[in-house]
Amino acid sequence: MNERPIGVFDSGVGGLTVFKALEAALPDESMVYLGDTARVPYGTKSPETVARYAREAAHFLARQRVKLLVVACNSASSVGLEALTAEVDFPVVGVIRPGAKAAVELTDSGRIGVIGTRATIDSHAYTHAIRELRPDAEIVSQACPLFVPLAEEGWTHDDVTYRVAERYLTAFEGVEVDAVVLGCTHYPLLKDVIGQTLGSAVRLVDSAESVAAEVAAMLHGDSSLSAEGTPRTADHHFFVTDVPGPFQVVAERFLGRRIERLERASIEGE
Ligand code: DGL
């Protein structure tokens, strides 16, 4: 039994999609969420810069005494989790492998689309992870960088968001993919727009639930779940690196409740 919280980290609001799945799968677990809103977006930055940001986030969360870290950001997960894992003394879980696994389980044809930030798409992390599980998979990838600011702004159903989606998702016209991986944790916030643009024949793959299942299995395997079998109130603490207001609006809308403990933190140079 381990009462310490789970750490969840993203550049902004995107990791909340993973937070929500974790909360549903592990309602007794406390969590510390960090959104690096002062430096969002990550997906347009170099691998070295994103790796440095991820290290600083991990060190900050280590000081919050987390027992496990979920890197709820594809861009950070795709630039090397190994180096991050070597720096901390708790397990680190990324989102790429669980997303690839979910995609391979969902596709019939083996033709899979991947959308993500430039950092994630350029890393080819999904292509490698999917091919490891299904070597004959045909993968078509498309970077959709404008989706992140639209999600951060909370423009989840606006005309402009539909227009942007139409332009990016023409990449899949004529390719007949039957599954598209939402390879950025911000994108499930735009699920309706993306789904309607791609049409009902295409299944959307959101890695959040697979990540939550992996975390649950790991904590169970290590006997490090909180208060096993004893109902209690989980305690969630949110940190952002810039003014909390905009994060709070989008987060409360997405989670459907008020966020009580939200603070600004500085993580630079951690
Ligand atoms: N939500 C993150 C991801 O999954 C980061 C997006 C960004 O900051 O560009 O890639």
Q: What is the pLDDT of residues 250-270, one digit of tens each?
A: 999 999 999 999 999 999 888
Structural domain boundaries in the chain: 6-95+209-264, 96-206
User: What does the pLDDT look like over 76-132, one tens digit per residue?
Assistant: 999 978 889 999 999 999 999 999 999 999 999 999 999 999 999 999 999 999 999
Nearest to 234 by CA among 243, 242, 225: 225
Q: Is 73 a catalytic residue?
A: yes
The pLDDT score that the predictor gives to residue 234 is 86
Query: Which comes out higher in pLDDT, residue 264 or 228?
Result: 264
Spatial CB neighbours of 208, under 8 Å, sequence gap ≥ 6: 17, 18, 20, 21, 185, 188
Torsion region of 154: left, alpha or beta (phi above 0 gives left; psi -120 to 50 gives alpha): left
**What's the gap in Å between 230 CA and the centre of ligand 1?**
35
pLDDT value of residue 226: 87
Nearest atom of ligand 1 to the alpha carbon of 184? 4
Check for a shared fold between 6-95+209-264 and 96-206.
yes
Q: What is the pLDDT of residue 105?
A: 96
Pocket of ligand 1 contains residue 139 by CB under 6 Å: no
Which residue of the set 69, 184, 202, 204 is catalytic?
Answer: 184
Residue 229 has pLDDT above 60, yes or no: no
Ligand 1 contact via 74 beta carbon (within 6 Å): yes
Structure confidence by residue, pLDDT tens digits, 18-41: 999 999 999 999 999 999 999 999
User: What is the pLDDT, as a whole number, of residue 208?
Assistant: 94
How far is ligand 1, taken at its centre, from the CA of residue 202, in Å?
Answer: 23
Q: What share of the chain is helix, strand, coil (3-state, %, to 5)?
A: 45, 15, 40
Question: 142 C-alpha to center of ligand 1: Å?
Answer: 14
* CB of 45 shorter than 6 A to ligand 1: no
Active-site choice (6, 32, 73, 211): 73
**Catalytic annotation on 144?**
no
80 Cβ partners below 8 Å, 6+ apart?
A: 47, 51
Contact call for residues 203 and 106 (beta carbons, < 8 A): yes
Q: What digits encode the pLDDT tens for the residues 163-201?
A: 999 999 999 999 999 999 999 999 999 999 999 999 999
- Ligand 1 midpoint to CA 72 (Å): 9
Is pLDDT of 231 > 60? no
Residue nearest to atom 2 of ligand 1 (CA): 73
- pLDDT attached to residue 228: 59
* Pocket of ligand 1 contains residue 215 by CB under 6 Å: no
What is Dmax (Cα atoms) for the chain?
Answer: 53
CATH of 6-95+209-264, one of 3.40.718.10, 2.70.70.10, 3.40.50.1860, 1.20.1300.10: 3.40.50.1860
Q: How far apart are CA 194 and CA 218, in angstroms?
A: 32
Q: pLDDT band for 232, please (50, 70, 90 cuts).
A: low
Give the per-residue pLDDT at 80: 79
123 lines ligand 1 (CB under 6 A): no
Instruction: Identify the CATH number of the domain defined by range 96-206.
Output: 3.40.50.1860
